[in-house]
Amino acid sequence: MPSESASLSESVPEPPPHDPVDQLYRELELKIREYRPKDDLTALEKAFRFARKYHEGQMRDSGEPYMLHPVMVAHILADMRMDIVAMEAGLLHDVVEDTSVTVEQVRKEFGEEVARCVDGLTKLTKLDFSSAEDRQAESFRKMMLAMVEDIRVIMVKLADRIHNMRTLGYLDPERRERIARETIEIYAPIAHRLGMGKVRGELEDLAFQHLEPDAYREILEAIESRRHSNQEFLNEIKQAVESELRREGIPARIDGRVKRPYSVFQKLRRQKITVDQVYDLMALRIITDSVKNCYAGLGVIHNKWRPIPGRIKDFISIPRPNLYQSLHTSVVGPHGQTFEVQIRTEEMHRIAEEGIAAHWKYKEGRKGPAADDQRIAWLRHLVEWQRDVQDPAEFMSTLKVDLYPEEVYTFTPRGKVIVLPRDATPIDFAYAIHSDVGQTCVGAKVNGRIVPLRSPLRNGDVVEIMTQPGHEPSKDWLAFVKTSRARNKIKHVINASERIKAIEIGQKYLEKEARRLGVALGKATKGDLEEVASSYGYSKMEDLYAALGYGKFSARQVLVKIAPDAVKDESPEPKPGASVAGEPAVAGVTQPASMPGRPRDGDAVIKVRGMDDLLVYRAKCCNPIRGEAIVGYVTRGKGVAVHSKMCPNVQSLMYDVERKIEVEWARAAEDAFPVRIVIHTDDRPGMLNQLTSVLSDENTNIRSLEAKTEHDQDGGVVEMTVDVRDKKQLEKLVSAMRRISGVRDVERLFN
């Protein structure tokens, strides 16, 4: 990180010819010329000058000019044989983050592809892994891959990390430790996932050196002290293998090498041994021309030296999830010393070292949308390879987030990753942290700004939940939460609080009804009531009260069981919902003859399937009429409300499946249902007459009618309530009205 801000001066003096940064850039051009002799480097040079201008005056912690860093990153990308766009992005990777340059400026100067890469890199830079909790590394890795649209962003990020790791020594111990840990937990595994063995190896060894300096030194010393004998030994077996292979006619290139410090360290840890007990610090790599010769080579090795059982691994027929292919074996060498042999083809070797980068490079001379084609080709290639892979789950799940973004990765303010389904909201986030946080959630800040609780979260969002003790979840939340955890918890709380109310209402209702009928409810009847409860299948009195409160049956039905005589003398019971616990009575509750002059719209018309003693009424909000699809909802204290399935309230009511109940229209067809309709008309004389004559043709009774003139719309509105027998009759009526010339629209009112 630079310690000074960039100079914005327009006139940067031309650097002297011995400028080390300039020199380094010229070397970069030479390096690229080697593998891309025909590429035009104008844009690259422009990117170099642009970045240098804006980083002017900034320094690295090493005291060197800042610009050395982006040029070195581009060098590493050139070593990876990346394309010009990737290297432009490498040169520009810190300008948006560390200077006044904007992404728009980069887009204008260098085009869409480069801008997209730089933007992606800037976003990754903003992720802070330092405060991440344990075992979250996997989520971070997935998130990084999920966030990048262009895989070159990852390439540049890895190159950036390699250079930072190479120069880590200049930082203070605390930052050094943090960056090294991040490297070993996040970046090295990403390189591994992408099959980039070389990058992974370098990152691991650099990080290891800083994280475990003592172990690192010990291993290095052990390797060093045996260097001479190791080298001699390697030369000896190398020659032996070479001559054996030549005799069999197998062309091969043979590499003798000492294993990497970190891989030795892992072996020590895995096998709980000391460095003196590690014998196979050395490995031989045979690179040949064909798969057939890989297996032939293995035969030659096993002929010459005894293989160690259980150490033969065939990653050719079963490649690793990251597409790695090779044959591995460990054998007992000439002086009883064991060593490992890897056998693979050139192509396999290239993929083992470079991974995704090997697939990335496109053929010389391709222009235009080549980059995208490449990426798609690579993915297709990958999918093809996956067919032959036995356990591709690990690798594919990583790529899945890239290909099918169905998860969203968010953070707590302290850096914990919360993985949620796509379009999850702050409420889901709150419940994912803790149910109590969800229950008492009153608001949310996303990236420091207050947002509505229903707003969908995006990758990388930092979410802060505001809570208020005692606050309760809202029923409305059910409309937008995405996780079942949040949904269940909200339902649970709502049901519990409704149940408490139902118990209270049920108990008062029973007491009131008992008083009215002169039935004494005291200690003497306690046992009787408990018996009634158990006859209904309830183990507790509370359950009986709740059932009364929900209106599953009436107080009378209960009381008749404990005092049959007192109840029998009484005729009809008053509405259970009426004035119980101060609740307003609901119009339309089943009451035979309770409303003279109005058609009966109670249980004679609607039946609850399988239950005859339930109180049923048509919900006022939608007033369903015969023939319409209906659904019942057990209310508290008011019986069963019957709604039209089309009713907008149904959706929000039916969150509680247990209170949903099947209802049907009873057979009796003589009843009529009041329906409110609104007719929008042209404002002309005689309109009302025509409307009423349609109604009388249909033998329909008009309960009320109101006509108004709408001056601003040059029309009239007629609102009326009419009695209809069923849905069919209503439809007939409406279409007859619509045929009247001058009628613009006919609507049924639900409220």
**Nearer to Mn ion by C-beta: 88 or 94?**
94
- CA 451, 453, 457, 460 dihedral sign is positive
| 620 in Cβ contact with 643 (< 8 Å) | no
Provide the 10 A C-beta neighbour count for residue 241: 21
Q: What gap in Å lies between CA 260 and CA 224, rounded to an integer? A: 12
Q: What gap in Å lies between CA 547 and CA 307, rounded to an integer? A: 76
Q: Which two tokens stand for residue 718?
A: 């007629």
Beta-bridge mates of residue 606: 665
**Nearer to Mn ion by C-beta: 94 or 498?**
94
Q: Which two tokens stand for residue 642?
A: 């019957």
| 489 in Cβ contact with 452 (< 8 Å) | no
Residue 153 amino acid letter? V
**Nearer to Mn ion by C-beta: 121 or 642?**
121
Smallest gap, in angstroms, from Cβ of residue 70 to Mn ion?
Answer: 7
Smallest gap, in angstroms, from Cβ of residue 2 to Mn ion?
Answer: 10
Smallest gap, in angstroms, from Cβ of residue 143 to Mn ion?
Answer: 20
Strands 673-682 and 407-411: unpaired
Q: What gap in Å lies between CA 126 and CA 565, rounded to an integer? A: 79
Smallest gap, in angstroms, from Cβ of residue 315 to Mn ion?
Answer: 34
Q: What gap in Å lies between CA 237 and CA 123, rounded to an integer? A: 50
**Nearer to Mn ion by C-beta: 94 or 185?**
94
Q: Where on the chain is the footprint of Mn ion (CB under 5 A)?
A: 94, 160
**Nearer to Mn ion by C-beta: 160 or 671?**
160
| 220 in Cβ contact with 209 (< 8 Å) | no
| Long-range contacts from 201-206, C-beta under 8 angstroms, 24+ separation | 201/260, 201/262, 201/263, 202/162, 202/165, 203/158, 203/161, 203/162, 203/165, 204/260, 204/262, 204/263, 205/260, 205/261, 205/262, 206/162, 206/165, 206/166, 206/168, 206/180
**Nearer to Mn ion by C-beta: 94 or 603?**
94
Smallest gap, in angstroms, from Cβ of residue 168 to Mn ion?
Answer: 13
639, 640, 643, 648: CA torsion to nearest 10: 70
**Nearer to Mn ion by C-beta: 160 or 205?**
160
Smallest gap, in angstroms, from Cβ of residue 162 to Mn ion?
Answer: 11
- Of 749, 732, 734, nearest to 691 by C-alpha is 734
Number of residue whose CB is nearest Mn ion: 160
Please name the residues in contact with 621: beta carbons below 8 A apart, sequence gap of 6 or more. Answer: 643, 647, 648, 649, 750, 751
**Nearer to Mn ion by C-beta: 51 or 547?**
51
- Of 427, 445, 446, nearest to 437 by C-alpha is 427
What b/e sequence results for 178-210 when a residue is b if at least 16 CB atoms lie within 10 Å of its CB, and e otherwise?
A: ebbbbbbbbbbbbbbbbbbbbbbbbbbbbbbbb
**Nearer to Mn ion by C-beta: 167 or 467?**
167
Smallest gap, in angstroms, from Cβ of residue 71 to Mn ion?
Answer: 11
- Helix pair 68-79, 20-35: axis angle to 10 deg: 20
Q: Which two tokens stand for residue 215?
A: 């172990």
Q: What is the longest distance spanned by two Cα atoms in the chain?
A: 117
Tokens 């030479």 correspond to: 30
Please name the residues in contact with 207: beta carbons below 8 A apart, sequence gap of 6 or more. Answer: 165, 180, 181, 183, 184, 188, 262
Distance (Å) of CA 649 to CA 482, 639, 655:
21, 17, 11
Q: What gap in Å lies between CA 235 and CA 255, rounded to an integer? A: 10
Tokens 């007491």 correspond to: 511
Please name the residues in contact with 354: beta carbons below 8 A apart, sequence gap of 6 or more. Answer: 80, 81, 195, 196, 197, 198
Distance (Å) of CA 188 to CA 192, 197, 263:
6, 9, 13
- CA 75, 76, 82, 84 dihedral sign is negative
**Nearer to Mn ion by C-beta: 167 or 263?**
167
Smallest gap, in angstroms, from Cβ of residue 93 to Mn ion?
Answer: 6
**Any idea which residues carry the catalytic annotation?**
97-98
Smallest gap, in angstroms, from Cβ of residue 165 to Mn ion?
Answer: 11
DSSP 650: H
**Nearer to Mn ion by C-beta: 94 or 464?**
94
Smallest gap, in angstroms, from Cβ of residue 471 to Mn ion?
Answer: 45
Q: What gap in Å lies between CA 539 and CA 420, rounded to an integer? A: 40
**Nearer to Mn ion by C-beta: 60 or 313?**
60
Smallest gap, in angstroms, from Cβ of residue 1 to Mn ion?
Answer: 9
Smallest gap, in angstroms, from Cβ of residue 344 to Mn ion?
Answer: 34
| 617 in Cβ contact with 601 (< 8 Å) | yes
Q: What gap in Å lies between CA 338 and CA 334, rounded to an integer? A: 9
Provide the 10 A C-beta neighbour count for residue 140: 21
**Nearer to Mn ion by C-beta: 83 or 94?**
94
Smallest gap, in angstroms, from Cβ of residue 90 to Mn ion?
Answer: 9
